[in-house]
Amino acid sequence: MGDVTLEHVTKRYEDVTAVDDMNLAINDGEFICLVGPSGCGKSTTMEMIAGLTMPTEGEVFIGGREVTNLPPKDRGIAMVFQNIALFPHMDVYDNISFGLRLRKYDKEEIDRRVERASDIVQLEGMLDRMPDEMSGGQRQRVAIARAIVRNPEVFLMDEPLANLDAKLRVHMRTELQRLHKELDTTIIYVTHDQAEAMTMSDRIAVIDSGQLQQIDPPLVCYNEPANLFVAGFIGSPSMNFVDGEVTEAGFHGKNVEVDFDPADVGVSPGDDVTLGVRPEDVYTEDEQAGIAHPTKRIEATTDVLEPMGDEIFVYLLLSEDATTSMDDASEGMSDQLLMSVDPDSSITEDQDVSVVLDRAKLHLFDTETGEAIQHGIATTTTTSTDSSTPAESDD
């Protein structure tokens, strides 16, 4: 069985804690992505599952067996590496059969298995090539064949697509999903690319600064991020954040106000909170008919347009003195808002627009701890339609 459990796993280097008290329970047959920015400890976590790195504290279980101190070869795992790591002095057949030969399988069994593995990854007729005679995609297939040929309980993949070009990467993504369906083994996949994680995995484990932030199915991570980090990391372009304060009437930010009853949301007046909203949940006045619970109108000026083909990203400046520098963006983006609009929209640069937010898709976070307080404010207040009407007259 290929279930993997980490219990209180910590890895400390001399002065850095790479992984801090990590608890993970991965089910048999699950495709799970460890995702996070560079240096967040996701690769270290994987190396500890593989046995290439020993945890400072904590225990690792694979298939219900404690493997914390076992060498990699005795853990029933296979791994695909970021740099592919084919043995350059061996041809494809020898590379794929390396592990089998070490385990002294007989010749026919090795031939049969190598043939089956190379069938699965479509490498027919290339078994006598050397790695340096192959393209990046083919090498990656060999690396995958080398991993599946031993029928491991768990696959570990450490950014296996990072060195491939963009088109091939998308192609290999679907191949990996197909492979997972076919083999039905546990796959633990490390990536810094949240798009890869969203598209492939059953569950995403978001890691930052060596700590697990959230482990949930992709859409749950997207729709109900556990904290500010997950909210900002999952989704591209990332969520808009507005810092503000809770008042008796609801949320009060520099340029954005949202009415709600603090008691319903579980905050009290005076609390520092951050409001989060994804670009696609910001609507222009014309489009607002489509949403049930719009907020008050927000006056803004369009800054830069980024046409993507299927949608246009619009950078909105919320006040006169707003600047577009990145420093401001990192400080809660109180002056800026990113909006996604329909490609047919007639919006232009430097245009004054009024926008509304979809109350059902708003997220409220505790500014101090970053923890999510509430996802979707529309459901908690019955007066949302009323509150937007006087808001219009205010302006």
Partner 1 sequence: MATENEQQSGIGKQGDADIKRGPLERWVGAAIKNPKRAYRAMFYVATVFFLVTTLFPFYWLLVLALTPNNLISDMGLLPKGFNPEVFITMFERVPFHLYMFNSFVLGLSTTIIVLLLASLAGYVFGRLRFPGRSALMLGILAISYFPPAAFFLPLFELFTGGTDIVLGPVTVSSPDLFNTPAPMVLPFSALFMPLSIFILTTFYGQIPDGLEDAARVEGTTRLGALFRVIIPLSAPGVATAGVLTFISVYNEFFFSFLMNNGEASSWAPIVAGILKYQGQFDTPYNLMAAASIVGVLPVAILVIVAQERIVSGLTAGALKE
- Judged by the rule CB under 8 A, the positions of this chain that interact with partner 1 are 50-52, 71-73, 77-79, 81-89, 98-99, 102-103, 131-132, 136, 139, 146, 150, 156, 163
Whole-angstrom Cα distance, residue 297 to residue 379?
Answer: 19
State which amino acid sits at residue 384: S
How far apart, in whole angstroms, are the C-alpha atoms of residue 103 and residue 97? Answer: 10
- As measured in angstroms, the least distance from the Cβ of 133 to partner 1 is 9
77 closest CA partner among 177, 160, 155, 175:
155
Using the minimum distance from each CB to partner 1, give the nearer residue, 53 or 247.
53
CB of 193 vs partner 1, minimal distance in Å: 18
* Apex 333 CA angle, 234 and 388, nearest 5: 95
Q: Torsion angle of alpha carbons 193, 196, 197, 198, nearest 10°?
A: 120
- CB closer to partner 1, 118 vs 340: 118
Considering beta carbons, is residue 99 or 376 the nearer one to partner 1? Answer: 99
Phi, psi of 190 (to 5 degrees): -100, 135
* Least distance from partner 1 to the Cβ atom of residue 225, Å: 33
**Minimum CB distance to partner 1, residue 256 (Å):** 47
For 40, the 3-state DSSP assignment is: coil
SS3 227: strand
- Rounded least distance, CB 108 to partner 1, Å: 20
| Residue-wise burial string across 268-294, b where 16 or more C-beta atoms lie within 10 A, e elsewhere | eeebebbbbbbbbbbbbeebbeebebb
What are the tokens at 349? 């640069």
CB of 306 to partner 1, least distance (A): 32
Cβ-based nearer residue to partner 1, 134 or 265: 134
What's CA 40's distance to the chain center, in Å? 13
Report the C-alpha gap between 223 and 376 in whole angstroms: 9
Q: How far is the CB of 49 from partner 1 (least distance, A)?
A: 11
- How does DSSP assign 123-140, residue by residue? -TT-TT--GGGS-HHHHH
**Closer by beta carbon to partner 1, 160 or else 225:** 160
Nearer to partner 1, 82 or 301 (CB): 82
Measured between alpha carbons, how far is 78 from 157 in angstroms, rounded to an integer? 8
In the complex, the smallest distance separating the C-beta of residue 52 from partner 1, rounded to whole angstroms, is: 5
Nearer to partner 1, 158 or 196 (CB): 158
CB of 56 to partner 1, least distance (A): 16
- Is 157 or 353 the residue whose CB approaches partner 1 more closely? 157
The DSSP line for 69-118 is TS-GGGTTEEEE-TT----TTS-HHHHHHHHHHHTT--HHHHHHHHHHHH
Q: Which is nearer to partner 1, 9 or 149 (CB)?
A: 149
